[in-house]
């Protein structure tokens, strides 16, 4: 499993999936939830909410 390109934190499956869903589906490098939130200028809870939402609608990336 990959590490965050910004802070080198070990990434969870959900973090990779939400990055691919929000930023770039065919990405091979990813950011963790905290760095992605900073990058998008939103609180980390927004990323959590997106993960929950994408799971709920049955997104195949998760």
**How many residues in the shown chain lie near Zn ion by CB under 5 A?**
6
Residues of span 15-54 touching Zn ion by CB under 5 A: 32, 35
- Judged by CB under 5 A, the residue of 2, 3, 6, 61 near Zn ion is 6
CA-to-CA separations, 55 to 9, 50, 58, 60, in angstroms, rounded: 23, 8, 5, 8
Is the Cβ–Cβ distance between 15 and 33 less than 8 Å? yes
Q: Using the minimum distance from each CB to Zn ion, give the nearer residue, 18 or 32.
A: 32
Footprint of Zn ion (CB under 5 A): 4, 6-7, 9, 32, 35
């Amino acid at each position: 499993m990959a590490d965050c390109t910004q802070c080198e934190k070990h990434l969870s499956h959900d973090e990779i999936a939400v990055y691919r869903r929000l930023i770039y589906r065919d990405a091979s490098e990813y950011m963790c939830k905290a760095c992605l939130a900073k990058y998008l200028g939103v609180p980390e809870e927004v990323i959590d909410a997106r993960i929950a939402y994408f799971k709920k609608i049955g997104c195949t990336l998760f």
